[in-house]
Structure 1
């Protein structure tokens, strides 16, 4: 998890510079892992960006780096709600036990990058 909050597109670009991507949460165990790791970093008591967006087509959430549809979800109650038609980027909300939310992409938040590795490193986060 980075200590340098950014807008969603900036965070996505930052991750790419390290051959990584904003975290794509594809399964319940992965979601649980990210929520647990976020709680370990108690200094970061904020929401944080993950890699989903519906910028291409409203209401059709995609993992933007891998260009795959979001199948597994863990939205907070009432989300995504696209308040005022301007919320197109995905974050995990701190105050809802890290359930997902749609947020304005120009909001400045911390973020988690995900990187594929060939070694079996467990519990390691990039970002």
Structure 2
């Protein structure tokens, strides 16, 4: 266990040693963790889809054996439930973030006429 802690510590702080940078702040660590979670979620959805497809393959391939068909059907049902729950939570979190925090979409100017322009006298 001690070796794992040393390995994690070394990997975490190695960029600081290499680039002679300041040690990471808590905000940086939190940002990295949130980035990891943000990238991990689509991978989990892909795994759930793979699990569902494995159930479909098992259901079709072993259709002559009733017990294996039931196992394949159960895999498909569990895969569909996992996909539904993950996508629902993803949408709910997106709605909550857009409701309570500033959305980066608000910063995008979609219409060029919305850009503030100054005339020659420096007035809007």
TM-score band w.r.t. shorter chain: under 0.3
The TM-score normalised by the length of structure 1 is 0.17
Whose Rg is larger? 2
TM-score in terms of structure 2 length: 0.18
Name the structure, 1 or 2, with higher relative contact order (CA <8 Å, separation 6+).
Answer: 1
- Greater strand content: 1
